[in-house]
Structure 1
Amino acid sequence: MECECRCSERSRAHAILFNILTGDAEATDLSYSPSSRCHCDTRRTVRLKSRDTCLAASSVLVKTVRFVASVPAFQQLPAEDQCALLHHCWAPLFILGLAQERVSFEVEHEPVTSMLKKILLNREHERGENREQPTLSGVQNLKSCLRKLWSLDLSPKEYAYLKGTMIFNPDVPGLQEAPFVDSLQCEAQRALREVLFLLHSGDGGTFGRVLLAMSSLQSVTPDLITELFFRPIIGSAHLIHLITDMLFAR
């Protein structure tokens, strides 16, 4: 049975109660419609319309990990630091990959799970209940990030430098070589600024727009990306373990 939105019902009840208390009997109309827009739809769980998108996303993820593993400065770091940095940055790097590959996608509402299925899959349900499920609101936020990146019309070279600034984050907890990572981040940011200035005819505002687009990527959680693009194909496996395996498979 479909879940029904109760927003308008609650608003209508509040209006009726207010009119009764204020003595405005004529305004107590059962046909009352709320002036505020219902946002329940944006909180509903969604899924990809096409399974082909999962395959495209998988290709982007593989390319992302291979890119990180191929960076000479990254290879100089201890294995523990490599894992920590990749675990921290894989999600925004993946979004950059989606933007660079111009991957577009559509979603649809997830069918409501039947009570019988919940009972039969109770154990799996309990294991997954703490995972963030993709909602229409979350997907709209992700698409907004992609549109910002597309509007910048970056070249492959610019994307490469941009990824470099995101890989080396000295604030990641537990790094053994944090000072070295800090110097690498400064070097990557300086190189990005120079290439943007060179390719955009001295437009100093481009760097600021790129930084703004980068900051928006942090609003997209790894869980949303995992559940939307990869859960349909990896099942109950942990994506972060698969990413780590890919990193050291080189």
Structure 2
Amino acid sequence: MMFPLEEITPNTCSGYQDQRGHTLLYNILSGRASGYFNTKLSHNTAAHNCRCEQRKTVCLKDPKATCQVASSVLVKTIHFVRSLPSFSQLPPGDQSSLLRHCWVPLFVLGLAQEKIVFEVTDAPNSSILRQILLGPGLTEKEADRPTFAGVHKLRTCLHYLWNLDLSPKEYAYLKGALLFNPAVQGLSASLFIVGLQQEAQRALHEVIHLLHPEDNLRFSNVLQATSAVQTVSHSLVTELFFKPVIGNTNMLHLITEMLFVQEDCS
């Protein structure tokens, strides 16, 4: 069994293969086609907001409640990853590398699947004039703060996914295809991971065809959504949803600890 969720994959259309579609999907899931959506989302933001508004730093309006919900989504994301038998068979180094690379897209998919809505407000002591005047002179800490433009991009991704109304199976296979990314540097079992991603891709294609046989555009729309979630920055997600809770703790270290410590305690 190459892909651990294949028991929920419909047998219908198992012989249907679109090599061009799989190639495009591979490029998108590997992050090679995210430039188009990054440009498109940035254009949409610029079209509706002035430059000052885009650069305005923001924070959660209700950090206590929202961070709690975000933490729950992250825990569910880690649990999903650890529940995949094929993932647990990988060397620990590969497991860590894959999760570190894709935890943000998986988290965004989790937000969409859980229908999480959040509100933001102007960050305290945020001066638009100061940002304009200092520009590149902003410190690294200040530059990482969530901006209106970043939140707009995230919300655009979420609304795109909500409009698709993906089924649990579609979400599961999409997450699997994003997780098993052989393009991640330094993998020791890259050939095995190639096979896992191909299985996830085929399963995703088949379940879409089964659930929406007359919607010829749905597969390409799912690909676009996949590309979009990969444009959301790590710093935005970390600073917006987790910084109020973890402070200066390194998020990647925390993710890795969650992956392996939970496994030891299970």
TM range (shorter): 0.7 to 0.9
Confirm whether residue 203 of structure 1 aligns to residue 202 of structure 2: no
Distance of 2:97 and 2:174 partners within structure 1? 19
Q: Which residue identity does 1:107 align to in structure 2?
A: V
Using the TM superposition, give the Cα deviation of residue 102 of structure 1 relative to its aligned residue in structure 2, in angstroms: 0.2
**Cα distance change, pair 38–215 in 1 and its aligned pair in 2 (3 A):** closer
* Residue in 2 that maps onto 1:23: none
* Residue in 1 that maps onto 2:169: 157
Please, which of 183, 205, 230 is the counterpart of residue 193 of structure 1? 205
Confirm whether residue 71 of structure 1 aligns to residue 66 of structure 2: no
Contact 2:56 2:126 in 1 (8 A): no
Using the TM superposition, give the Cα deviation of residue 217 of structure 1 relative to its aligned residue in structure 2, in angstroms: 1.1
Using the TM superposition, give the Cα deviation of residue 130 of structure 1 relative to its aligned residue in structure 2, in angstroms: 7.1
Kindly name which structure, 1 or 2, has the bigger radius of gyration based on alpha carbons. Answer: 1
* Residue in 2 that maps onto 1:177: 189
Please, which of 106, 125, 147 is the counterpart of residue 93 of structure 1? 106
Using the TM superposition, give the Cα deviation of residue 202 of structure 1 relative to its aligned residue in structure 2, in angstroms: 4.1
Normalised by the length of structure 1, the TM-score is 0.78
**RMSD (CA atoms):** 1.9
Q: Which residue identity does 1:134 align to in structure 2?
A: P
| SS of equivalent to 1:47 | strand
| SS of equivalent to 1:170 | coil
Contact 1:161 1:192 in 2 (8 A): yes
**Cα distance change, pair 38–209 in 1 and its aligned pair in 2 (3 A):** closer
Distance of 1:79 and 1:38 partners within structure 2? 46
* Residue in 1 that maps onto 2:17: none
Structure ranking higher on relative contact order (CA contacts 8 Å, 6+ apart): 2
1:120-169, Cα deviation, whole Å (9 max, x unpaired): xxxxx97x627621100000000000001001101112111110110000
Q: How does 1:219-238 map to 2 (within 5 A)?
A: 219-238=231-250
1:73-107, Cα deviation, whole Å (9 max, x unpaired): 10110000000000000000000000000000110
| SS of equivalent to 1:129 | helix
Normalised by the length of structure 2, the TM-score is 0.73
* Residue in 2 that maps onto 1:122: none
* Residue in 2 that maps onto 1:17: none
Confirm whether residue 39 of structure 1 aligns to residue 47 of structure 2: no
Confirm whether residue 61 of structure 1 aligns to residue 74 of structure 2: yes
Contact 1:131 1:223 in 2 (8 A): no
1:48-95, Cα deviation, whole Å (9 max, x unpaired): 001211110000000001100110110110000000000000000000
| SS of equivalent to 2:108 | helix
* Residue in 2 that maps onto 1:106: 119
**Cα distance change, pair 203–187 in 1 and its aligned pair in 2 (3 A):** same
Q: How does 1:107-146 map to 2 (within 5 A)?
A: 107-112=120-125, 129=141, 132-146=144-158
Q: Which runs of 4+ in 1 moved over 4 A?
A: none
Distance of 2:49 and 2:86 partners within structure 1? 51
Distance of 2:49 and 2:189 partners within structure 1? 51
Extract unaligned runs of 5+ from structure 1.
1-35, 115-124
Aligned residues: 204
